Amino acid sequence: MNYRHAYHAGNFADVLKHVVLAALLDALKAKPTPFAVIDTHAGSGCYALEGKEAQKTGEWREGVGRLLFPDVGPHAAAGGTLPPLLRRWLDGLLALPGNEHGLKLYPGSPLQAAIALREADSAQLCELHPEEAARLRELFHQDRRIHVHQRNGYEALGALLPPKEKRGLVLIDPPYEAQEAEYRLIEQALKAALVRWPTGIYAVWYPVKLRSQVQPFLRWLGHCGARRVLRAELLVHADDSPLRLNGSGMAILNAPWKLDDALREPLRALSRLLAQERPAEWRLDWLAEEGAAAPPPAPLPRSRARR
Ligand SMILES: C[S@@+](CC[C@H](N)C(=O)[O-])C[C@H]1O[C@@H](n2cnc3c(N)ncnc32)[C@H](O)[C@@H]1O
């Protein structure tokens, strides 16, 4: 339990994760009936980009910081404009109280979800670390839609699923302190969760260091029983070093209709905006598709629609 998200908030991996989260929340809000968000690894909810942790790594500058000026520099977005989903997402961050004079606070997944929730929607937030959980509780103590649980998020799924709303999203965003063993924990949790709530949407963030480390998990997802599994991935370095975060992905089980269409242009723009020493690569493809045979267990093909 050494991981603190404050060092990494707003980095390139957070940008991908939270843009996908925004697209998922949009899809859920397309229907008027209430939905639930269950965040198994919630963090503290909000991060000061001028705080000592964020200043120490400066990671946010190569992440969300790059989106603040999309029309200047070598990474400029095409035409200098952001695709509508990215624009709305960024405007949402800048509208946060405290950000009137620029991006000082970066909201984590619980706060981004809370801002999107309507009156009848709800959120269940799990966070194991006592200090992070205390901050989370403080942040939401006046919001009756939001419930904070200081407990293991994987175990909590047994009690929280299915939610009373019968529709919604589970976000699984662990720190991977268990390294490759974390994937097996996620698989176990998803297997049990899909039995309890087969129609829920599940979004799992995963790091890409060495490609071979993540490949068994991606193959498992192709056969996990969820109807439609979409993978959205962004690599800012080659995926051949175990020592650094080369990129990250989001795997979305029971992905909403047209989620791939909603993410295509934002991912294309992010691959340009977040590129580092070489052009960034992105992938947006189906690991499992309704009615289709499961893909072979060979390395997965890259999306043809890249860059
Ligand atoms: C990557 S951070 C979460 C960031 C957050 N989802 C966001 O996007 O803003 C992972 C968090 O999981 C917490 N954590 C680690 N193991 C956990 C577990 N088994 N159950 C719940 N929380 C856990 C860590 O303390 C850390 O705050």
In a domain, 83, yes or no: no
Q: Tokens at residue 29, please?
A: 């809000």
**pLDDT of res. 304:** 39
The pLDDT of 197-206, averaged and rounded, is 98
- Residues 236/113/258/188 CA torsion (nearest 10 deg): 70
> Is the CB of 132 inside a 6 Å radius of any atom of ligand 1?
yes
Kindly state the percentage of the chain with pLDDT values over 90: 86
Confidence tier at 295 by pLDDT (50, 70, 90):
low
Q: How far is CA 192 from CA 56, 117, 186, in A?
A: 39, 26, 10
The pLDDT of 15-26, averaged and rounded, is 98
**pLDDT of res. 80:** 72
The number of C-alpha atoms within 13 Å of 182 and in the hemisphere containing its C-beta is: 17
**pLDDT of res. 198:** 97
**pLDDT of res. 70:** 74
Domain enclosing residue 260, as ranges: 11-46+109-288
The pLDDT of 267-293, averaged and rounded, is 89
Tell me the per-residue pLDDT of 108-140, one tens digit each, with 9 for 90 and over.
999 999 999 999 999 999 999 999 999 999 999
Distance 43 CA to ligand 1 centre (A): 5
307 pLDDT more than 50? no
Atom number, ligand 1, closest to the C-alpha of residue 108: 9
The pLDDT of 197-220, averaged and rounded, is 97
Picking from 228-232, 252-256, 290-294, which range would have the lowest pLDDT averaged per residue?
Answer: 290-294
Confidence tier at 243 by pLDDT (50, 70, 90):
confident
Active site residues: 173
In a domain, 283, yes or no: yes
**pLDDT of res. 303:** 45
How far apart (Å, rounded) are the C-alpha atoms in residues 294 and 290?
9
In a domain, 30, yes or no: yes
State how many domains the chain has: 1
The pLDDT of 94-103, averaged and rounded, is 96
What's the mean pLDDT when you consider all of the chain? 93
The pLDDT of 20-40, averaged and rounded, is 98
245 pLDDT more than 50? yes
56 pLDDT more than 90? yes
In a domain, 53, yes or no: no
Using H for helix, E for strand and C for coil, what is the string for the chain?
Answer: CCCCHHHCCCCHHHHHHHHHHHHHHHHHHCCCCCCEEEECCCCCCEEECCCHHHHHHCHHHHCHHHHHCCCCCCCCCHHHCCCHHHHHHHHHHHCCCCCCCCCCEEECHHHHHHHHCCCCCEEEEECCCHHHHHHHHHHCCCCCCEEEECCCHHHHHHHHCCCCCCCEEEEECCCCCCCCHHHHHHHHHHHHHHHHCCCCEEEEEEEECEHHHHHHHHHHHHCCCCCCEEEEEEECCCCECCCCCCEEEEEEECCCCCHHHHHHHHHHHHHHHCCCCCCCEEEEEEEECCCCCCCCCCCCCCCCCCC
**pLDDT of res. 77:** 66
**pLDDT of res. 219:** 97
In a domain, 216, yes or no: yes
Residue whose CA is at the smallest distance from ligand 1 atom 1: 175
Any idea what the CATH number is for the domain that residue 221 is in? Answer: 3.40.50.150
Distance 156 CA to ligand 1 centre (A): 13
**pLDDT of res. 71:** 72
> Is the CB of 5 inside a 6 Å radius of any atom of ligand 1?
yes
Higher-confidence residue of 301 and 62: namely 62
Atom number, ligand 1, closest to the C-alpha of residue 185: 19
In a domain, 92, yes or no: no
> Is the CB of 254 inside a 6 Å radius of any atom of ligand 1?
no
58 pLDDT more than 50? yes
In a domain, 207, yes or no: yes
In a domain, 273, yes or no: yes
